[in-house]
């Protein structure tokens, strides 16, 4: 049985915090791979100053290049509309019935996990893996396997603001993603 991690998010843009989280969880739990899965339209946040779903998918693919344990999943972007994890995981489980899925969430999502659509059903479908983030409590009464990773206080919001104000993003975002952002003139770059 393959052990597959899923790290969902907006990836607007993807950055080293996402990559560190995915790689550290993959290593700590002995997963076969971690798939970074951009949402089409996230149910929990309004996307301002955003790249399109297709652009976020392309940036995420660029971000994971060179790490054979990290891949990209286009399931939510391809299906379009609001992305609900319980629906997405149902589709993935149909496609891969022999896989064991580990759904990776950061501190902000841990804090609101009890509000997720279909959470009771989802808890029977996946094993949640929690990673604490600076500025969040990262606590829930729901069953989560916590993995300690180096805390990197970087966010997509911070990076979008840096692009808008023409500040450096060096070492915070993969160079291939930075080139894509500048080529596509995203985030006011």
Whether residue 78 is predicted with pLDDT greater than 60 in this model: the reply is yes
Question: Does the global pTM surpass 0.85?
Answer: yes
Whether residue 69 is predicted with pLDDT greater than 80 in this model: the reply is yes
Work out the average pLDDT over 88-116.
92
Quick: pLDDT tens for 26-36.
999 999 999 99
| Rounded percentage of the chain residues whose pLDDT exceeds 90 | 74
Q: How far from 130 is each of 7, 24, 78, 79, 184, CA to CA, in Å?
A: 11, 12, 26, 26, 33
Quote the pLDDT of residue 147.
93
What SS3 state is found at 5? Answer: strand
The length of the chain is 189
pLDDT range class, residue 87, cuts 50, 70, 90: very high
- Which domains occur in the chain, in start order? 3-153 (3.40.50.620)
């Amino acid at each position: 049985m393959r052990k597959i991690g899923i790290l969902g998010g907006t990836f607007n843009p993807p950055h080293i915090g996402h990559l560190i989280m995915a790689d550290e969880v993959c290593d700590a739990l002995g997963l076969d791979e971690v798939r970074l899965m951009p949402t089409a339209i996230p149910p929990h946040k309004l996307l301002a100053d955003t790249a399109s779903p297709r652009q976020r998918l392309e940036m995420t693919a660029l971000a994971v290049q060179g790490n054979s344990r990290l891949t990209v999943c286009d399931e939510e972007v391809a299906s379009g509309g609001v992305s609900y994890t319980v629906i997405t995981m149902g589709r993935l489980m149909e496609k891969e019935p022999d896989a064991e899925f580990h759904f990776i969430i950061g501190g902000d999502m841990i804090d609101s996990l009890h509000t997720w659509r279909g959470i009771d059903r989802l808890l029977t479908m996946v094993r949640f893996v929690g990673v604490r983030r600076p500025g969040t409590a990262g606590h829930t009464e729901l069953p989560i396997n916590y993995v300690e990773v180096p805390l990197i206080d970087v966010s997509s919001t911070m990076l979008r603001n840096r692009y808008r104000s023409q500040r450096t993003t060096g070492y915070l975002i993969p160079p291939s993603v930075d080139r894509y952002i500048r080529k596509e003139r995203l985030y006011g770059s």
